[in-house]
Structure 1
Amino acid sequence: MTNASSRAVSAATGFWIVAVVFLTAMAYSTIPTPLYTLYQQRDGFAVWVITMIFAAYAVGVVLSLFFAGHLSDVFGRRRMLVIAVLVSAASAVMFLVWNDVAGLLAARLVNGVSIGILTATATAHVSELRARSKPDEDPIIAASVAGAANLGGLALGPLIGGFFVEFLPDPLVLPHAVFLVLLLAAGAALLVVPETVMRPVPRPRYHPQRLAFPPGSRPSFVAAGLGAFASFALFGLFTSLAPTFLVDAFHAPSHLLAGATPFAVFASAAIAQVVLARVALRRQLAIAVLSCAVGLIAIAVGAVLPSLALFLVGGIIGGVGVGILFRSAIATAAGLAAPGKRGETLALIFLIAYCGLALPVIAVGVSLLFFGETAVLLVFTALVLVATVSAGTVMRRRA
């Protein structure tokens, strides 16, 4: 036993520590959302550069999930979570000391690496700590808490960033400095969380993430992967293009609004996961399909009119739908995982999800070189509409 293990708190307490650390690190990953326009005004770069900076984060997540997201099955959940949080803290330092365009790209890439390690590891750790402290509880509760921490953190980041911009000095410095302190404190708190993985002896040889479905579960896993991909495509829209669209199309330059808009989408997704946790899965997925359809149509109509209220309401309704889709995808993947392979299986589903975040956003950035923002937004919204409704329908058939 290590010294950290001998000082470990109870599984019930560790569950909440990991959930709060998960939420904190995810919040920092979206803090820059309302700051992008400030960097743009300061350095005079084009809108497509913002999407590339955002895409650097998504690429970092995907690379990290492929090369390191599954390693907690071998090295332990706690150790990999501490590494993830410290890498996130390193990205905060980069934002503070190197914040021209090249620095922003590098810092976002490093931050993405931390999130790639974090997401699958924290989700698995939360589930295992909850199972240890409440073995008779429905696993969907732990999945809902993990999903709420994930999406709740993504929701809080833009809102906190917008608050810093509107009401506090040095908005390109202070948010990163504050979260640097919080992340270092989070890393220290993780040292007393119980480990839930017995490290295999002998240690297996390293390999990147295996792009293989859990045995005998290809159709169900494909459906879950489609749901995760489609969900994060909508999130990508609101964390990359929406803040700039608010200024250019709706003439709403408020940085607090730029943060509140993605907050509303992520928050509705997180709240839907918790509120509907005990509703039958088929009914949840029916709600998800309807919400995605109505929400995305409202987003498109709001962009064309233009109507800021309709655009925001559409994002909130769509957020409900993709929140349910994403939680269902994670719960499905966790349920299909073979013993000792939960981290690897969750890393694969998160890899698919963040491809849904990265690939469409990169496509949006390239498209903005040739077409206007409204046209790009409408095409993107239509594609996400097809993807989310199709994913929800397939997942409901298999539920």
Structure 2
Amino acid sequence: MSSATPPMVSRPRELVFYTLVLMAFLAASGVPTPLYQLYQQSWGFSTSMLTLVFASYLFALLVTLLFTGALSDYLGRRPIIFAGLVIELASMGCFLLARDLEWLFAARILQGMATGIVTSALSAALMDSDHQRGPVMASVAPMIGMGLGALGASLLVAGAPWPMRLVYVVMIVIFACQACRLGRMTESVTRRHGALASMKPRARVPGSVLPTFVRTMPANVAAWALGGFSLSLGPALAEQVAGFHSALMGGLLACILSVMGGISVWRFRCFSTRTILLLSSTLLPAGLVLVLISVYLHSLALLITGYGVAGLGFGSGFMGALRAVMPLAPAGERSSLMAVFYVVSYLSASLPALAAGVATQRFGLEATVYVYGAFVMLLSLSVLVSVLRRPAAVAPLP
């Protein structure tokens, strides 16, 4: 059996280090966002291909996560995290050397594989480091990291030399330093047999959980559909509303959405699941209403405000749906349920964004935004109706 650090032992050094590594991986995932339009202008590919490049990252992440999610329980946290860092360095190298669309696909697929490998290992390492603060860091760090990555890349693209390359040099240095530092961390798991057998994907929703899963999952789908659009077509939307090209604006919107999502996870974590879902299904549609009005009025200030409000719903939608279903599953089936949760999350971030990319080519960005926004709002509002129809005193959520 694996031997993790005893529950009462807190290791602040490991907690900080693994939090920073998780933030770096998600920051790297947000780095290409403000660069997509530069790539598109330089290499002349379509908007649908742009969203396919983005989706290839999520597909690779999902497949890798399903097959390798339990490996660190058998091989140890450090070996799996190190493997992820090596693949991530290869991905950053591909971005750095990219000359055409094929390089972008290779870089994004490698990045998805690297992130998929380390996602479970880093979450488990954070839990091993501190059983109280670790889960909170595992929830907040990805959103903060993704936002800071998009914003940092925007600043470098807008104000530094070598705009299509410099940010990847920075990320290579960060990941190389983390790979060197990893060896100084304490391993919390004893290697054991069964690693190969653990790579069999297990994804299942227990029958006892299914009704709640169906009622609350639209909150998660809405959250990730908005996130996927923002990380792929968000810069194009910012440019259309602002009326001028600005790499900074595209990264700023992604940053606002992600950081506000992280803040909502932190601030709402002590609320009941019912309250979190009510907040999510109110804030996300309200923010999207402001976004759609900003598109009609071409108001940049309103667009930024709308993204800020929607960001609060983004983070709380993910957290609320997760907290509604996970406690209902028997202990032996939670990993299978978590796999389904990841599948739904990443497909929600990729497939609607792909459809939006195709629709943008045919109907234009503005018309696509109106339909996409209405679709996400309806998903979120369906959860609001479902929660309000089940009074807390009669059928409380966990």
Distance change (3 Å), C-alpha of 1:37 and 1:195: same
Distance change (3 Å), C-alpha of 1:19 and 1:220: farther
Pick aligned residue for 1:272 from 264, 274, 295: 264
How far residue 315 of structure 1 moved from its aligned partner, in angstroms, is 1.2
Say which is worse superposed, 239-248 or 279-288, in terms of deviation: 279-288
Say which is worse superposed, 115-124 or 305-314, in terms of deviation: 115-124
Aligned length: 384
| Residue in 1 that maps onto 2:173 | 181
Q: Indicate conservation of the 8 Å contact 2:283/2:313, yes or no.
A: yes
Distance change (3 Å), C-alpha of 1:232 and 1:363: same
Matches within 5 A, 1:157-306: 157-203=149-195, 205-213=197-205, 216-222=208-214, 225-306=217-298
Pick aligned residue for 1:319 from 311, 318, 324: 311
Distance 1:257 1:100 in 2: 24
Say which is worse superposed, 238-247 or 22-31, in terms of deviation: 238-247
| Residue in 1 that maps onto 2:369 | 377
Distance 1:226 1:149 in 2: 23
Query: SS where residue 258 of structure 1 aligns?
Result: helix
Supply the AA of the counterpart residue of 1:273. Answer: V
After TM superposition, the score normalised by the length of structure 2 is: 0.87
Distance change (3 Å), C-alpha of 1:174 and 1:369: same
How far residue 14 of structure 1 moved from its aligned partner, in angstroms, is 1.3
Supply the AA of the counterpart residue of 2:281. Answer: V
| Residue in 1 that maps onto 2:71 | 71
Q: Indicate conservation of the 8 Å contact 1:214/1:336, yes or no.
A: no
Q: Deviations over 1:195-254 (max 9, x none)?
A: 444555455625432121358433445556443332111111111111012223431312
How far residue 164 of structure 1 moved from its aligned partner, in angstroms, is 0.6
Distance 2:208 2:195 in 1: 26
Q: Indicate conservation of the 8 Å contact 1:54/1:108, yes or no.
A: yes
Distance 1:337 1:277 in 2: 20
Q: Indicate conservation of the 8 Å contact 2:147/2:256, yes or no.
A: yes
Supply the AA of the counterpart residue of 1:76. Answer: G
Structure 2: gaps spanning 5 or more residues: 391-396
Distance 1:343 1:294 in 2: 34
1:349 aligns to 2:346 (yes or no) = no
Matches within 5 A, 1:19-168: 19-131=19-131, 137=132, 141-168=133-160
Query: SS where residue 184 of structure 2 aligns?
Result: coil
Give identity over the alignment, percent.
28
Distance 1:203 1:110 in 2: 22
How far residue 370 of structure 1 moved from its aligned partner, in angstroms, is 1.6
| Residue in 2 that maps onto 1:14 | 14
How far residue 48 of structure 1 moved from its aligned partner, in angstroms, is 2.5
How far residue 21 of structure 1 moved from its aligned partner, in angstroms, is 0.5
Q: Deviations over 1:325-363 (max 9, x none)?
A: 212344456646765776655444222211111111111
Distance 1:330 1:282 in 2: 12
Q: Indicate conservation of the 8 Å contact 2:74/2:193, yes or no.
A: no
Q: Indicate conservation of the 8 Å contact 1:30/1:158, yes or no.
A: yes
Q: Deviations over 1:168-205 (max 9, x none)?
A: 11011111111011112222333333444455545562
Q: Which structure would you say has the larger RCO, counting Cα contacts within 8 Å and 6 or more residues apart?
A: 1
Query: SS where residue 387 of structure 1 aligns?
Result: helix
Supply the AA of the counterpart residue of 2:277. Answer: L
Q: Indicate conservation of the 8 Å contact 2:29/2:146, yes or no.
A: yes
Distance 2:343 2:72 in 1: 15
Distance 1:103 1:245 in 2: 25
Structure 1: gaps spanning 5 or more residues: 132-136
Supply the AA of the counterpart residue of 1:264. Answer: I
After TM superposition, the score normalised by the length of structure 1 is: 0.87
Supply the AA of the counterpart residue of 2:349. Answer: L
Distance 1:102 1:34 in 2: 19
Distance 2:198 2:55 in 1: 28
Q: Indicate conservation of the 8 Å contact 1:230/1:384, yes or no.
A: yes
Q: Indicate conservation of the 8 Å contact 2:68/2:199, yes or no.
A: no
Distance 1:393 1:11 in 2: 43
Q: Indicate conservation of the 8 Å contact 1:61/1:112, yes or no.
A: yes
Distance 1:281 1:205 in 2: 35
